[in-house]
Amino acid sequence: MDLRDTVLNMGEWERLIHRAETGEITEPLENVDRDDPTPYDAIFVGGGAGGRFGSAYLQARGGRQLVVDRWPFLGGSCPHQACVPHHLFSEAARELDYARWNAGTLWFGEFDEKRASIRDLIELFKAGRNNPHAFMNWQSKEQLGMEYILNAEATVLDANTVEVAGRRFTARNLVLGTGASTYVPDIPGINLPGVFDFATLIEELDYEPSRCVIIGGSKIALEYGSFFQAAGCQTTIVSRSPLMRTASLHHVDEDLRTYVLDGMRKRGMELLEGAEPLEVIGNGKVTGVRVRLADGAELTIDTDFVFIGTGERPHSQPYVDALGVEVDDRGFITVDSRMRTSVPGVYAIGDLIGSPMEMFKARKCGMTAARNIMGEPYEFDFSEYPDFLHTTYEVTWVGLTEAEARAQYDDVVVIQMPPKGIRDDELALPCAEGSMLYAFTRPELTGMQKAIYDGKTRRLLGAHHVGFGAKDAFQYLDHLLRKGITIDEMGDMNELFLNPDHFIQLSRLRAGNSNLVDL
């Protein structure tokens, strides 16, 4: 279907995507300028976050690109099965938590957790997800001028050639960005009905679970687990590693970790760390999970719902086969800081090259590939980045933990709320947007925050926050921390009181000291 000369509005795009998803339309959806003889600078294989942002950047730099995706929309798995539903679920978890703690007070009615349904929320998401899909197709075409072929798989033939729906397209470069999907661990029974990952949860859940066992200790495990629990589905996490101490999560401060995990336990979750899942039990459908606990004892947990959160594996095999591209032992494509693979002219981006499986990385990988393809040497180092996860809280951190700082610096100064020596149930601080009602009803739920400075240079080394409303700020704190922001500059800023993070005013209370001390 040639859409080159058609401007579809949101509703028209939504209906078109829907018809493609239901199989009513099987032909490719094309926005390609067939009359333009200019050779392509790059073909982006996969139109997820990285492919879309890379394409936009390359276009903006004056290059010509084509992006191809098997789905009838750009944007990839995030708005379809991953970050967007996860955020919807995390918001629900927060609101359910709020309704539960405040039940019977003020305007809150009694809390009936049977009203909360995981399936209802999934259905709500699925009914609406084509709206962001429609927007990305519209924006990519009408605002960003991108060429694309959707609803069609791209087959890579060589480093310059891709076949799409029987036609061949050539380009100076290829940018591979077809992502990853859940790694299914080798456990007996893991393929039984009733076992889901984040993608099949959205596409296939057809009953309301009453009890959940999560296998794995990843960010996804904590996030979805918190939602299931908040929705009234008693949840147990079975994790080999200590939670939040897995390789994929760095710079997790111990106080932050304690607050987060204690908060999950306080809400009724069972966290089995150092535990080994031995078998998923069932007869045509999941009925339990057999587990070896940290102390060696075995336990069978009855459940009608198992959720896998054990990390992801890349979709790299076709490129190994067609191009001989170099991969690591888990199949992730090896790239340099310019996103160049071992094959000249072939770049790889996003989840395909490994962790962190985060949006900023995917998008900036795409931008990095685009800049280099357009002749601008540009390197992207994502070894350090701000990070977050959601439980019933927003949990955000950047830079060094207190322990890391103490290992590297002689004069570490910690500024935190609640202060050391004050129990969190006797102090309503920190509070701000989102935790005001907790402050006056359940002070122990208002969160925690910590800023870490080097006393010698007075520079900010790290910031850590559990609460609400600070996530957006951590993007800018990451930038400022890299620029060497000091406690004096922090104390000179203009806070918007009641600011969700109290870093500015707390820093000001100490910035007058020539020898910094803790607060």
Query: 2 or 91, CB closer to a copy of itself?
Result: 91
Query: 213 or 473, CB closer to a copy of itself?
Result: 473
Instruction: Please tell me whether residue 293 binds a copy of itself under the rule CB under 8 A.
Output: no
Instruction: Please tell me whether residue 121 binds a copy of itself under the rule CB under 8 A.
Output: yes
Query: 163 or 208, CB closer to a copy of itself?
Result: 208
Q: What residues contact residue 481 under an 8 Å CB cut-off, 6+ apart?
A: 398, 399, 460, 461, 462, 463
User: How many CA atoms does the CB half-sphere of 93 hold within 13 Å?
Assistant: 26
For 37, 172, 197, 361, 413, the CA distances from 386, given in Å and listed in that order, are: 43, 34, 26, 11, 20
Contact in structure between 198 and 311 (CB atoms under 8 Å): no
Instruction: Please tell me whether residue 234 binds a copy of itself under the rule CB under 8 A.
Output: no
CA 107 to chain centre: 34
Residues in 435-454 that interact with a copy of itself by CB under 8 A: 436-437, 439-441, 443
**3, 16, 89, 133: which is the annotated catalytic residue?**
133
Instruction: Please tell me whether residue 427 binds a copy of itself under the rule CB under 8 A.
Output: yes
Instruction: Please tell me whether residue 466 binds a copy of itself under the rule CB under 8 A.
Output: no
212 catalytic residue (yes or no)? no
205 catalytic residue (yes or no)? no
Query: 258 or 513, CB closer to a copy of itself?
Result: 513
Query: 83 or 403, CB closer to a copy of itself?
Result: 83
Residues in 239-278 that interact with a copy of itself by CB under 8 A: none
For 82, 270, 272, 488, 491, the CA distances from 281, given in Å and listed in that order, are: 27, 19, 18, 59, 57
Q: What residues contact residue 262 under an 8 Å CB cut-off, 6+ apart?
A: none
Q: What is d(CA 390, CA 87) in angstroms, rounded to the nearest whole number?
A: 8
Identify whether 344 is preceded by a cis peptide bond (ω within 30 of 0): no
Q: What is d(CA 519, CA 500) in angstroms, rounded to the nearest whole number?
A: 18
Query: 304 or 478, CB closer to a copy of itself?
Result: 478
**3, 29, 74, 176: which is the annotated catalytic residue?**
74
Torsion-angle region of 268 (φ positive above 0: left; ψ -120 to 50: alpha; else: beta): left
Measured distance between the N- and C-terminal CA atoms of the chain, rounded to whole angstroms: 64
78 catalytic residue (yes or no)? yes
Query: 101 or 290, CB closer to a copy of itself?
Result: 101
Q: What is d(CA 23, CA 28) in angstroms, rounded to the nearest whole number?
A: 12
Instruction: Please tell me whether residue 12 binds a copy of itself under the rule CB under 8 A.
Output: no
Query: 310 or 368, CB closer to a copy of itself?
Result: 368
Residues in 171-200 that interact with a copy of itself by CB under 8 A: none
Query: 12 or 33, CB closer to a copy of itself?
Result: 12
Instruction: Please tell me whether residue 210 binds a copy of itself under the rule CB under 8 A.
Output: no
**78, 222, 323, 481: which is the annotated catalytic residue?**
78
Instruction: Please tell me whether residue 471 binds a copy of itself under the rule CB under 8 A.
Output: yes
Strands of the sheet with 387-390, listed across from one edge: 387-390, 394-399, 460-467, 448-454, 412-417
Give the burial class of 265: count Cβ atoms within 10 A of its Cβ; 0-12 exposed, 13-18 middle, 19 or more buried: exposed
HEC string of 294-341 equals: CCCCEEEEECCCEEECCCEEECCHHHHHHHCCCECCCCCECCCCCCEC
Q: What is d(CA 366, CA 338) in angstroms, rounded to the nearest whole number?
A: 10
- Report which of 409, 507, 515, 383 is spatially closest to residue 450, judged by C-alpha positions: 507
Instruction: Please tell me whether residue 132 binds a copy of itself under the rule CB under 8 A.
Output: yes
89 catalytic residue (yes or no)? no
74 catalytic residue (yes or no)? yes
Residues in 474-503 that interact with a copy of itself by CB under 8 A: 474-480, 489, 491-501
Q: Could you say which of 32, 103, 117, 153 contacts a copy of itself (CB under 8 A)?
A: 117
Tokens found for residue 59: 């276009």
Torsion-angle region of 380 (φ positive above 0: left; ψ -120 to 50: alpha; else: beta): beta
Counting residues that bind a copy of itself (by CB under 8 A) gives: 108
Residue 505: CB minimum distance to a copy of itself, A: 6
**8, 18, 83, 388: which is the annotated catalytic residue?**
83
Residues in 393-422 that interact with a copy of itself by CB under 8 A: 394, 396, 419, 422
Q: Could you say which of 92, 180, 222, 452 contacts a copy of itself (CB under 8 A)?
A: 92
Residue 378 identity: Y
Give CA torsion, residues 330, 336, 339, 345, to 10 deg: -100
Residues in 24-83 that interact with a copy of itself by CB under 8 A: 53, 56-61, 78, 83
Stretch that binds a copy of itself, among 93-101, 170-178, 271-279, 399-407 (CB under 8 A): 93-101
Residue 377: CB minimum distance to a copy of itself, A: 15
Stretch that binds a copy of itself, among 121-129, 151-159, 285-293, 310-318 (CB under 8 A): 121-129
Instruction: Please tell me whether residue 373 binds a copy of itself under the rule CB under 8 A.
Output: no
Query: 60 or 407, CB closer to a copy of itself?
Result: 60
Tokens found for residue 16: 């078109």
Residue 362: CB minimum distance to a copy of itself, A: 9
Instruction: Please tell me whether residue 8 binds a copy of itself under the rule CB under 8 A.
Output: no
Residues in 341-360 that interact with a copy of itself by CB under 8 A: 358-360
Q: What is d(CA 321, CA 292) in angstroms, rounded to the nearest whole number?
A: 39
Residue 469: CB minimum distance to a copy of itself, A: 5
Instruction: Please tell me whether residue 305 binds a copy of itself under the rule CB under 8 A.
Output: no
Q: What is d(CA 348, CA 327) in angstroms, rounded to the nearest whole number?
A: 11
Active site residues: 74, 78, 83, 133, 497
